[in-house]
Amino acid sequence: MKENMKIIANRQIAKDIYELTLAGSLVQRMRTPGQFVHMKVANSGPLLRRPLSLCDINQEANECTIIYRAEGAGTTLLSQKLPGDTVDVLGPLGNGFSVSALSSGQRALLVGGGIGVPPLYELAKQLVKKGVFVTIVLGFQTKDVVFYEERFASFGETYVATVDGSYGMKGFVTDVIHHHRLSFHVLYACGPKPMLRALANEFPHQDVYLSLEERMGCGIGACFACVCRVPHSETAYKKVCSDGPVFRAGEVVL
Amino acid sequence: MNRLAVELPGLSLKNPIMPASGCFGFGREYAKFYDLSVLGAIMIKATTLEARFGNPTPRVAETPSGMLNAIGLQNPGVDRVINEELPWLAQYDVPIIANVAGSTVEEYVEVARRISKAPNVHALELNISCPNVKKGGIAFGTVPEVAAELTRAVKEVSDVPVYVKLSPNVTNIVAMARAVEQAGADGLTMINTLLGMRIDVKTAKPILANRTGGLSGPAIKPIAIRMIYEVSQAVSIPIIGMGGIESAEDVIEFFYAGASAVAIGTANFIDPYVCPNIIRDLPNVLDELRIDHISQCTGRGWNNGQTVYCGT
Ligand SMILES: Cc1cc2nc3c(=O)[nH]c(=O)nc-3n(C[C@H](O)[C@H](O)[C@H](O)COP(=O)(O)O)c2cc1C
């Protein structure tokens, strides 16, 4: 479950956004889109690991891809790593998106916000392989940070919105969904909490899966840093790292 | 001869390495990584009378060489710990040290009375040093008389030896240690986390929802060493040391300061295998130091090696 994985590529694909390709035998354990790895970037520097979602799993090549935003000390240090360097990876961790919720011929709507977009890529890949029709809606702050639009377009109709209107439709992902009257059998989403909350409120009677983000400690369920509440209970909880990060809408309090 | 075996009140340990309370849950997660029977003991997560949800998130923040946490003693309550967690842990050949918390003397006493009767609980760790709850916890850990009274009350009802977990958030830790020793404590565990805080530079708001939290990890190691060094010379009960331990060398340093066993907290989050790795490394470090038995290291930092026998 823990390995020093080798960096194959680490390149910038948008402002502060990097695409990291890693090789190692841990890839053979990676199956489910929406799972994450817990990464220790260097022996000196930041103490804790960083949770990073899997974006692409390529078992034939023994490689996986992760997309991250260089914002804090850990991810900035990671952005300076070169091919041939190694990083200490624990994983795969958590429960990802249920691909089996849909069968061939049904429709999925995939909605990603900002750095929540990457896990939807492997999800789209696996759904399309199953014969599911996918529609993708990606929301970003501004044009400079848009990534993977063409990549997603190869799987299905892809819409982009930016908050400032500098690219695609001006507004939020929910605006896109309304404007194009997008419908679905299952909705899968990953992104900031306000976005997830809006989607859950918008479609209270439909099958909606949401991937949550929370500051983590151990990443395996032992430290109780990343808990969230369960509706109608004072003490019940779910751990984002080990019960999630993907939950059914309504399963946890957003 | 098992060079790592140590005997402490209530505890016959095959080695002096145990995960620290709150950093290992009730063992279930780490059992997926290795056989928990390799551990000297396990300090389970703080247990209160009723279930507690704890504090709002974010509950952790990183700091230079450390982390802040404000979990807020989340736990399922003493009955579920006794009925579900302890029986599950009984499949492993490892003694359990139960961390007891509360907000009143009565609550501590009731939790201690019940949990000390569980067959695999070999000792209690009285948590009078949690900085993350409004009532109780650290309130009992900063005034010697209050800590002594609580220790006495818990000693009266406990079926197993009682270790008191000291807070570093005091001006005179020796006075605290002496007070609980006189009140009948069988041992000390130290240190708990140091009260700290971080503020987000962009939003000007505290990063932790609880605003303040407890600092742990390598950043606090020198403080732990200093406090154990002082306390071990002032009391005659054993000390289980903790605070920033990451390696077998760190363990030796804690022993030299005066510890008789050690606990490992934050380091489990960085490397889930840290405890078994340290257990594996310790004999090699003893070899390098030409020391036969780990117990010979205790207090060597201040007793000039008098009681230490150097092999060959
Ligand atoms: C996330 C977290 C939760 C903790 N929970 C508890 C607890 O429930 N009871 C307790 O006595 N100490 C608790 N502690 C303190 C540790 O047991 C230990 O005393 C402290 O972290 C110093 O050791 P370390 O630097 O190796 O982590 C907690 C520490 C952390 C980091």
Summarised one tens digit per residue, pLDDT across range A91-132 is: 999 999 999 999 999 999 999 999 999 999 999 999 999 999
Q: What is the pLDDT of residue B135?
A: 61
**Backbone φ, ψ for residue A237 (5° rounding):** -150, 165
| B197 DSSP β-pair partners | B212
Distance B41 CA to ligand 1 centre (A): 16
Q: What is the pLDDT of residue A69?
A: 96
Q: How far lies B119's CA from each of B83, B100, B135, in Å? A: 12, 16, 30
Instruction: Confirm or reject: Cβ of A48 under 6 Å from ligand 1.
Output: no
Query: What are the boundaries of each domain within chain B?
Result: 6-297
Annotated binding residues of B, written as ranges, equal: 21, 45-46, 69-73, 99, 127, 165, 191-193, 217, 243-244, 265-266
Provide the ipTM: 0.93
pLDDT of B307 higher than 60 = no
Q: What is the pLDDT of residue B139?
A: 74
Instruction: Confirm or reject: Cβ of B260 under 6 Å from ligand 1.
Output: no
Task: Calculate how close chain A gets to B70, using CA atoms only, in Å.
Answer: 8
**B189 in contact with A, Cβ within 8 Å:** no
**Which of A1, A217, A237 minimises the CB distance to B53?**
A237
Instruction: Confirm or reject: Cβ of B48 under 6 Å from ligand 1.
Output: no
Would you say domain A2-93 falls under CATH 1.25.40.80?
no
pLDDT of B312 higher than 50 = no
A121 and A93 Cβ atoms separated by less than 8 Å:
no
Q: What is the pLDDT of residue B259?
A: 98
Query: What are the boundaries of each domain within chain A?
Result: 2-93, 107-211
**A178 in contact with B, Cβ within 8 Å:** no
Mapping DSSP onto H, E and C, the string for chain B reads: CCCCCEEECCEEECCCEEECCCCCCCCCCHHHCCCHHHCCCEEEEEECCCCECCCCCCCEEEECCEEEECCCCCECCHHHHHHHHHHHHCCCCCCEEEEECCCCHHHHHHHHHHHCCCCCEEEEEEECCCCCCCCCHHHHCCCHHHHHHHHHHHHHHCCCCEEEECCCCCCCHHHHHHHHHHCCCCEEEECCCEEEECECCCCCCECCCCCEEEEECHHHHHHHHHHHHHHHHHCCCCEEECCCCCCHHHHHHHHHHCCCEEEECCHHHHCCCHHHHHHHHHHHHHHHHCECCHHHHCCCCCCCCCCCCECC
Using the atom order of ligand 1, give the atom closest to the CA of residue B67.
Answer: 31
Pick the CATH number of A107-211 from 3.40.50.920, 3.40.190.170, 3.40.50.970, 3.40.50.80: 3.40.50.80
The CATH code for residues B6-297 is 3.20.20.70
Q: What is the pTM of this model?
A: 0.94
Distance B154 CA to ligand 1 centre (A): 21
Mean pLDDT of B1-28: 97
Task: Calculate how close chain A gets to B62, using CA atoms only, in Å.
Answer: 7
Mean pLDDT of B251-277: 98
pLDDT of A171 higher than 90 = yes
Q: Is residue B310 among the annotated active site residues?
A: no
Contacts of A73 in chain B (CB under 8 A): 62
